[in-house]
Amino acid sequence: MRVMITGGGTGGHIYPALAIARGVMERWPGSEVLYVGTDQGLEADIVPRAGFPFKTIPAQGLKRALSPQNVVAVWSAARGYFIASRLIHEWRPTVVIGTGGYVCGPVILAASRQGVPTMIHEQNAFPGVTNRLLSRFTDRTAITFLDAVKFFPKKARIVLTGLPIRSEILSVRRGQARKTLNLSSGDFMVLSFGGSRGAYSINQAMIRVIQSLHQYPGLRLYHATGNRDYKKFMAELAKGGLKVNGPGDKVKVEPYFYEIANLLAAADLVICRAGASTIAELTVLGLPSILVPFPYATGNHQEHNARALASQGAAILVHDRDLSGEVLVGYIKGLMKDRSRLAQIAKASAAFGKPNALEHILDVVSNVIVERNNR
Protein backbone atom coordinates (compact mmCIF):
# COMPACT_ATOMS: atom_id res chain seq x y z
CA MET A 1 0.00 0.00 0.00
CA ARG A 2 1.25 3.44 -0.98
CA VAL A 3 -1.15 6.07 0.34
CA MET A 4 -0.95 9.72 -0.62
CA ILE A 5 -2.82 12.03 1.77
CA THR A 6 -3.53 15.69 1.18
CA GLY A 7 -5.28 18.37 3.21
CA GLY A 8 -4.18 21.66 4.65
CA GLY A 9 -4.57 25.22 5.73
CA THR A 10 -6.18 24.58 9.12
CA GLY A 11 -6.00 22.00 11.86
CA GLY A 12 -9.56 20.96 10.99
CA HIS A 13 -8.20 19.51 7.73
CA ILE A 14 -4.82 18.35 8.98
CA TYR A 15 -5.62 16.38 12.14
CA PRO A 16 -8.24 14.11 10.51
CA ALA A 17 -5.70 13.48 7.72
CA LEU A 18 -3.07 12.48 10.28
CA ALA A 19 -5.57 10.21 12.04
CA ILE A 20 -6.24 8.47 8.73
CA ALA A 21 -2.49 8.22 8.04
CA ARG A 22 -1.90 6.53 11.39
CA GLY A 23 -4.88 4.25 10.79
CA VAL A 24 -3.41 3.18 7.46
CA MET A 25 -0.12 2.25 9.10
CA GLU A 26 -1.91 0.21 11.77
CA ARG A 27 -4.29 -1.65 9.45
CA TRP A 28 -1.76 -2.29 6.68
CA PRO A 29 1.67 -2.68 8.34
CA GLY A 30 4.51 -1.82 6.03
CA SER A 31 2.46 0.72 4.10
CA GLU A 32 4.06 3.93 2.86
CA VAL A 33 2.34 7.28 3.47
CA LEU A 34 3.19 10.52 1.69
CA TYR A 35 1.55 13.75 2.78
CA VAL A 36 1.15 16.52 0.19
CA GLY A 37 0.44 20.07 1.38
CA THR A 38 1.63 23.63 0.85
CA ASP A 39 4.63 25.34 2.36
CA GLN A 40 2.41 28.10 3.80
CA GLY A 41 -0.29 26.15 5.65
CA LEU A 42 -0.04 24.75 9.16
CA GLU A 43 0.65 21.33 7.66
CA ALA A 44 4.19 22.43 6.81
CA ASP A 45 4.95 22.45 10.55
CA ILE A 46 2.52 19.85 11.93
CA VAL A 47 3.03 16.98 9.46
CA PRO A 48 6.85 16.68 9.66
CA ARG A 49 6.55 16.81 13.46
CA ALA A 50 4.13 13.87 13.24
CA GLY A 51 6.83 11.90 11.46
CA PHE A 52 5.38 11.56 7.96
CA PRO A 53 7.20 12.31 4.69
CA PHE A 54 5.99 15.65 3.37
CA LYS A 55 5.96 17.20 -0.11
CA THR A 56 4.66 20.63 -1.10
CA ILE A 57 2.89 22.03 -4.15
CA PRO A 58 1.66 25.59 -4.82
CA ALA A 59 -2.02 26.23 -4.08
CA GLN A 60 -4.13 29.12 -2.82
CA GLY A 61 -7.79 30.02 -2.65
CA LEU A 62 -9.91 32.24 -4.83
CA LYS A 63 -11.36 35.44 -3.41
CA ARG A 64 -15.16 35.56 -3.42
CA ALA A 65 -15.12 39.04 -4.96
CA LEU A 66 -13.37 40.02 -8.19
CA SER A 67 -9.72 40.51 -7.37
CA PRO A 68 -6.35 40.54 -9.16
CA GLN A 69 -5.30 37.91 -6.62
CA ASN A 70 -7.61 35.44 -8.34
CA VAL A 71 -5.36 35.49 -11.41
CA VAL A 72 -2.46 34.49 -9.16
CA ALA A 73 -4.63 31.81 -7.51
CA VAL A 74 -5.58 30.26 -10.87
CA TRP A 75 -1.95 30.27 -12.00
CA SER A 76 -0.92 28.72 -8.68
CA ALA A 77 -3.56 25.99 -9.03
CA ALA A 78 -2.39 25.19 -12.57
CA ARG A 79 1.22 24.88 -11.41
CA GLY A 80 0.08 22.78 -8.46
CA TYR A 81 -1.83 20.45 -10.76
CA PHE A 82 1.17 19.78 -13.01
CA ILE A 83 3.51 19.27 -10.05
CA ALA A 84 0.97 16.94 -8.39
CA SER A 85 0.57 15.02 -11.67
CA ARG A 86 4.30 14.48 -11.92
CA LEU A 87 4.52 13.45 -8.25
CA ILE A 88 1.68 10.94 -8.63
CA HIS A 89 3.22 9.52 -11.80
CA GLU A 90 6.58 9.06 -10.09
CA TRP A 91 5.40 7.86 -6.67
CA ARG A 92 2.53 5.69 -8.01
CA PRO A 93 0.15 5.73 -5.00
CA THR A 94 -2.35 2.92 -4.47
CA VAL A 95 -4.94 5.48 -3.36
CA VAL A 96 -5.13 9.24 -2.77
CA ILE A 97 -7.14 10.66 0.16
CA GLY A 98 -8.08 14.31 0.64
CA THR A 99 -9.47 16.01 3.73
CA GLY A 100 -10.12 19.52 2.41
CA GLY A 101 -8.34 22.79 1.82
CA TYR A 102 -7.12 24.36 -1.41
CA VAL A 103 -4.25 21.91 -1.82
CA CYS A 104 -6.69 19.03 -2.26
CA GLY A 105 -7.96 20.34 -5.57
CA PRO A 106 -4.83 19.87 -7.72
CA VAL A 107 -3.85 16.59 -6.02
CA ILE A 108 -7.24 14.84 -6.19
CA LEU A 109 -7.88 16.01 -9.76
CA ALA A 110 -4.45 14.82 -10.89
CA ALA A 111 -4.98 11.44 -9.26
CA SER A 112 -8.44 11.05 -10.77
CA ARG A 113 -7.15 11.89 -14.26
CA GLN A 114 -4.47 9.20 -13.90
CA GLY A 115 -6.96 6.54 -12.82
CA VAL A 116 -5.79 6.37 -9.21
CA PRO A 117 -8.54 5.51 -6.66
CA THR A 118 -9.55 8.63 -4.68
CA MET A 119 -11.56 9.49 -1.59
CA ILE A 120 -12.26 12.80 0.13
CA HIS A 121 -13.48 13.42 3.67
CA GLU A 122 -15.64 16.40 4.64
CA GLN A 123 -15.61 17.36 8.32
CA ASN A 124 -18.40 19.95 8.47
CA ALA A 125 -22.17 20.06 8.01
CA PHE A 126 -21.62 22.79 5.40
CA PRO A 127 -18.97 21.45 3.01
CA GLY A 128 -16.07 23.55 1.81
CA VAL A 129 -16.00 24.72 -1.80
CA THR A 130 -13.05 22.49 -2.70
CA ASN A 131 -14.71 19.30 -1.49
CA ARG A 132 -18.01 20.18 -3.17
CA LEU A 133 -16.21 20.51 -6.50
CA LEU A 134 -14.03 17.43 -6.02
CA SER A 135 -17.00 15.21 -5.09
CA ARG A 136 -17.84 15.06 -8.81
CA PHE A 137 -14.56 13.29 -9.56
CA THR A 138 -13.78 11.12 -6.53
CA ASP A 139 -14.71 7.48 -6.03
CA ARG A 140 -16.21 8.26 -2.60
CA THR A 141 -17.04 11.31 -0.51
CA ALA A 142 -17.04 10.54 3.21
CA ILE A 143 -19.02 12.91 5.44
CA THR A 144 -19.29 13.62 9.15
CA PHE A 145 -22.81 15.11 9.24
CA LEU A 146 -25.81 13.77 7.37
CA ASP A 147 -26.88 17.40 6.89
CA ALA A 148 -23.99 17.83 4.45
CA VAL A 149 -25.59 15.58 1.82
CA LYS A 150 -27.88 18.27 0.42
CA PHE A 151 -24.93 20.52 -0.46
CA PHE A 152 -23.19 17.97 -2.68
CA PRO A 153 -24.06 17.27 -6.34
CA LYS A 154 -26.38 14.31 -6.98
CA LYS A 155 -23.67 12.33 -8.74
CA ALA A 156 -21.40 12.36 -5.67
CA ARG A 157 -21.01 8.90 -4.11
CA ILE A 158 -21.50 9.76 -0.45
CA VAL A 159 -21.00 7.62 2.64
CA LEU A 160 -21.58 8.72 6.25
CA THR A 161 -18.51 7.77 8.30
CA GLY A 162 -18.12 10.34 11.05
CA LEU A 163 -14.85 12.04 11.96
CA PRO A 164 -11.77 10.24 13.35
CA ILE A 165 -10.98 11.34 16.89
CA ARG A 166 -7.93 11.08 19.10
CA SER A 167 -7.49 7.62 20.60
CA GLU A 168 -6.95 9.02 24.10
CA ILE A 169 -10.49 10.44 24.14
CA LEU A 170 -11.93 6.92 24.06
CA SER A 171 -9.41 5.44 26.48
CA VAL A 172 -10.39 7.36 29.64
CA ARG A 173 -13.19 6.06 31.87
CA ARG A 174 -15.54 8.55 33.53
CA GLY A 175 -15.21 7.12 37.04
CA GLN A 176 -11.42 7.21 36.98
CA ALA A 177 -11.38 10.71 35.49
CA ARG A 178 -13.63 12.10 38.20
CA LYS A 179 -11.53 10.42 40.85
CA THR A 180 -8.38 11.97 39.39
CA LEU A 181 -10.04 15.42 39.57
CA ASN A 182 -11.32 14.81 43.11
CA LEU A 183 -14.95 15.17 42.06
CA SER A 184 -17.59 13.62 44.27
CA SER A 185 -20.59 11.76 42.87
CA GLY A 186 -22.79 14.78 43.61
CA ASP A 187 -20.58 17.36 41.90
CA PHE A 188 -21.85 18.89 38.65
CA MET A 189 -18.82 19.65 36.50
CA VAL A 190 -18.97 22.27 33.75
CA LEU A 191 -16.09 22.39 31.26
CA SER A 192 -15.73 25.46 29.03
CA PHE A 193 -13.14 26.44 26.45
CA GLY A 194 -12.71 28.24 23.14
CA GLY A 195 -9.69 26.52 21.60
CA SER A 196 -5.96 27.05 21.98
CA ARG A 197 -6.30 30.78 21.31
CA GLY A 198 -9.45 31.07 23.35
CA ALA A 199 -12.69 32.79 22.42
CA TYR A 200 -13.20 36.37 23.60
CA SER A 201 -17.00 36.16 23.84
CA ILE A 202 -16.91 32.90 25.79
CA ASN A 203 -14.25 34.31 28.11
CA GLN A 204 -16.32 37.42 28.82
CA ALA A 205 -19.39 35.34 29.55
CA MET A 206 -17.49 32.93 31.78
CA ILE A 207 -16.14 35.78 33.91
CA ARG A 208 -19.76 36.59 34.81
CA VAL A 209 -20.56 32.90 35.33
CA ILE A 210 -17.67 32.47 37.75
CA GLN A 211 -18.56 35.67 39.59
CA SER A 212 -22.17 34.52 39.96
CA LEU A 213 -21.73 30.79 40.60
CA HIS A 214 -18.35 30.27 42.25
CA GLN A 215 -20.09 29.29 45.50
CA TYR A 216 -23.12 27.58 43.95
CA PRO A 217 -23.79 24.28 45.79
CA GLY A 218 -22.47 21.20 44.00
CA LEU A 219 -21.05 23.12 41.02
CA ARG A 220 -17.47 22.79 39.78
CA LEU A 221 -16.22 25.01 36.94
CA TYR A 222 -13.23 24.33 34.69
CA HIS A 223 -12.44 27.02 32.12
CA ALA A 224 -9.63 27.40 29.55
CA THR A 225 -9.11 30.99 28.46
CA GLY A 226 -6.55 30.50 25.69
CA ASN A 227 -3.01 31.85 26.05
CA ARG A 228 -3.85 35.32 24.73
CA ASP A 229 -6.47 36.29 27.33
CA TYR A 230 -5.36 34.39 30.42
CA LYS A 231 -3.74 37.29 32.28
CA LYS A 232 -6.63 39.66 31.55
CA PHE A 233 -9.14 37.02 32.62
CA MET A 234 -7.37 36.38 35.91
CA ALA A 235 -6.98 40.12 36.55
CA GLU A 236 -10.73 40.60 36.08
CA LEU A 237 -11.48 37.85 38.60
CA ALA A 238 -8.98 39.33 41.05
CA LYS A 239 -10.82 42.67 40.99
CA GLY A 240 -13.70 40.98 42.75
CA GLY A 241 -11.43 39.17 45.17
CA LEU A 242 -12.19 35.77 43.68
CA LYS A 243 -9.71 32.99 44.34
CA VAL A 244 -9.38 30.15 41.88
CA ASN A 245 -7.06 27.19 41.26
CA GLY A 246 -6.46 26.56 44.97
CA PRO A 247 -6.73 23.05 46.49
CA GLY A 248 -10.21 23.69 47.86
CA ASP A 249 -11.49 26.06 45.19
CA LYS A 250 -14.44 25.03 43.04
CA VAL A 251 -13.13 26.95 40.04
CA LYS A 252 -10.12 25.99 37.92
CA VAL A 253 -8.88 28.38 35.23
CA GLU A 254 -5.96 27.64 32.91
CA PRO A 255 -4.73 29.02 29.58
CA TYR A 256 -5.08 25.55 28.07
CA PHE A 257 -6.05 22.12 29.37
CA TYR A 258 -3.49 19.59 28.21
CA GLU A 259 -5.29 16.72 29.96
CA ILE A 260 -8.50 17.38 28.02
CA ALA A 261 -9.35 13.67 27.79
CA ASN A 262 -9.77 13.47 31.59
CA LEU A 263 -11.83 16.64 31.70
CA LEU A 264 -14.16 15.58 28.90
CA ALA A 265 -14.67 12.17 30.49
CA ALA A 266 -15.54 13.79 33.82
CA ALA A 267 -17.77 16.61 32.52
CA ASP A 268 -21.54 16.87 32.96
CA LEU A 269 -21.87 19.83 30.59
CA VAL A 270 -19.52 21.42 28.04
CA ILE A 271 -19.58 25.01 26.75
CA CYS A 272 -17.51 25.56 23.60
CA ARG A 273 -17.29 26.48 19.91
CA ALA A 274 -18.74 24.17 17.26
CA GLY A 275 -15.74 22.92 15.31
CA ALA A 276 -16.18 19.52 13.70
CA SER A 277 -13.44 17.77 15.71
CA THR A 278 -14.80 19.11 19.00
CA ILE A 279 -18.32 17.96 18.13
CA ALA A 280 -17.03 14.52 17.15
CA GLU A 281 -15.43 14.17 20.58
CA LEU A 282 -18.48 15.45 22.45
CA THR A 283 -20.87 13.11 20.66
CA VAL A 284 -18.71 10.01 20.88
CA LEU A 285 -18.77 10.55 24.66
CA GLY A 286 -22.49 11.41 24.68
CA LEU A 287 -21.86 14.77 26.35
CA PRO A 288 -24.52 17.51 26.63
CA SER A 289 -23.18 20.81 25.36
CA ILE A 290 -23.91 24.49 24.85
CA LEU A 291 -22.45 25.30 21.43
CA VAL A 292 -21.46 28.87 20.57
CA PRO A 293 -20.45 28.83 16.87
CA PHE A 294 -17.61 31.09 15.79
CA PRO A 295 -19.49 33.64 13.67
CA TYR A 296 -16.61 34.30 11.25
CA ALA A 297 -15.88 30.71 10.28
CA THR A 298 -15.66 30.12 6.53
CA GLY A 299 -19.14 29.65 5.10
CA ASN A 300 -20.47 29.96 8.66
CA HIS A 301 -19.84 26.22 8.87
CA GLN A 302 -19.73 26.15 12.68
CA GLU A 303 -23.35 27.30 12.85
CA HIS A 304 -24.31 24.54 10.43
CA ASN A 305 -22.49 22.04 12.68
CA ALA A 306 -24.26 23.31 15.78
CA ARG A 307 -27.66 23.35 14.07
CA ALA A 308 -27.22 19.73 13.00
CA LEU A 309 -27.07 18.77 16.69
CA ALA A 310 -29.49 21.33 18.11
CA SER A 311 -32.22 20.38 15.63
CA GLN A 312 -32.16 16.86 17.06
CA GLY A 313 -32.03 17.94 20.70
CA ALA A 314 -28.37 16.85 20.96
CA ALA A 315 -27.03 20.26 22.03
CA ILE A 316 -28.12 23.78 22.92
CA LEU A 317 -27.25 26.42 20.32
CA VAL A 318 -26.42 29.95 21.49
CA HIS A 319 -25.39 32.46 18.86
CA ASP A 320 -22.27 34.48 19.61
CA ARG A 321 -24.29 37.71 19.40
CA ASP A 322 -26.69 36.43 22.07
CA LEU A 323 -24.06 35.07 24.43
CA SER A 324 -23.76 36.54 27.92
CA GLY A 325 -22.95 35.45 31.42
CA GLU A 326 -26.62 35.70 32.35
CA VAL A 327 -27.61 33.37 29.52
CA LEU A 328 -25.07 30.74 30.59
CA VAL A 329 -25.98 31.06 34.26
CA GLY A 330 -29.61 30.40 33.33
CA TYR A 331 -28.75 27.28 31.35
CA ILE A 332 -26.36 25.91 33.98
CA LYS A 333 -28.81 26.35 36.84
CA GLY A 334 -31.66 25.01 34.74
CA LEU A 335 -29.82 21.85 33.67
CA MET A 336 -28.56 21.20 37.19
CA LYS A 337 -32.17 21.17 38.39
CA ASP A 338 -33.66 19.39 35.37
CA ARG A 339 -31.55 16.25 35.15
CA SER A 340 -34.10 14.54 32.93
CA ARG A 341 -33.57 17.18 30.22
CA LEU A 342 -29.81 16.86 30.65
CA ALA A 343 -30.12 13.09 30.18
CA GLN A 344 -32.22 13.56 27.04
CA ILE A 345 -29.59 15.86 25.51
CA ALA A 346 -26.87 13.36 26.44
CA LYS A 347 -28.78 10.50 24.81
CA ALA A 348 -29.35 12.50 21.62
CA SER A 349 -25.68 13.53 21.59
CA ALA A 350 -24.55 9.91 21.86
CA ALA A 351 -26.77 9.00 18.90
CA PHE A 352 -24.61 11.30 16.76
CA GLY A 353 -21.35 9.75 17.97
CA LYS A 354 -19.26 7.64 15.61
CA PRO A 355 -16.65 5.84 17.74
CA ASN A 356 -15.68 3.62 14.78
CA ALA A 357 -15.29 6.49 12.30
CA LEU A 358 -11.64 5.73 11.52
CA GLU A 359 -12.32 2.05 10.89
CA HIS A 360 -15.25 2.94 8.65
CA ILE A 361 -13.09 5.36 6.64
CA LEU A 362 -10.40 2.71 6.19
CA ASP A 363 -13.08 0.29 5.00
CA VAL A 364 -14.11 2.87 2.40
CA VAL A 365 -10.48 3.25 1.31
CA SER A 366 -10.21 -0.52 0.89
CA ASN A 367 -13.45 -0.64 -1.10
CA VAL A 368 -12.46 2.06 -3.60
CA ILE A 369 -9.17 0.28 -4.27
CA VAL A 370 -10.93 -3.03 -4.91
CA GLU A 371 -13.55 -1.41 -7.12
CA ARG A 372 -10.93 0.31 -9.30
CA ASN A 373 -8.90 -2.89 -9.62
CA ASN A 374 -12.00 -4.82 -10.71
CA ARG A 375 -12.90 -2.38 -13.51
Closest CA to 320 of 203, 217, 202: 202
For 127, list phi and psi in degrees, rounded to 5: -65, 150
107/87 Cα distance (integer angstroms): 9
What is the per-residue DSSP string for 263-301?
HHHH-SEEEE---HHHHHHHHHTT--EEE---TTSGGGH
pLDDT average, residue stretch 149-167: 94
pLDDT of residue 167: 83
Closest CA to 216 of 333, 342, 334: 333
β-pairing, 158-160 vs 140-143, is: parallel
**Residues 158 and 16 grouped into a single domain:** yes
**Residues 82 and 231 grouped into a single domain:** no
β-pairing, 140-143 vs 118-122, is: parallel
233/224 Cα distance (integer angstroms): 10
**Residues 49 and 112 grouped into a single domain:** yes
CB atoms within 10 A of CB 95: 21
**Residues 59 and 156 grouped into a single domain:** yes
Give the residue numbers spanning the domain of 264.
Answer: 168-352
**What's the DSSP call for residue 103?**
T
**Residues 267 and 323 grouped into a single domain:** yes
**Residues 223 and 368 grouped into a single domain:** no
Give strand pairing partners of 34.
4
**Residues 309 and 367 grouped into a single domain:** no
Query: Does the structure show a pLDDT above 60 at 258?
Result: yes
Task: Indicate the average pLDDT of the chain.
Answer: 92
pLDDT average, residue stretch 314-341: 98
| Per-residue pLDDT tens digits for 130-140 | 899 999 999 99
198/65 Cα distance (integer angstroms): 30
Strand, coil or helix: 121: strand
Count of domains forming the chain:
2
pLDDT of residue 175: 96
pLDDT of residue 80: 86
**Residues 262 and 288 grouped into a single domain:** yes
| Per-residue pLDDT tens digits for 202-243 | 999 999 999 999 999 999 999 999 989 999 999 999 998 888
**Residues 49 and 174 grouped into a single domain:** no
**Residues 179 and 54 grouped into a single domain:** no
**Residues 60 and 18 grouped into a single domain:** yes
Q: State the CATH number of the domain containing residue 225.
A: 3.40.50.2000
- What's the pTM value of the predicted model, to 2 decimals? 0.89
| Per-residue pLDDT tens digits for 71-126 | 555 666 788 899 999 999 999 999 999 998 889 999 999 999 999 999 999 999 99
**112 Rama class: left (phi>0) / alpha (psi -120 to 50) / beta:** alpha
**Residues 224 and 315 grouped into a single domain:** yes
Confidence of residue 310 (pLDDT cuts 50, 70, 90): very high
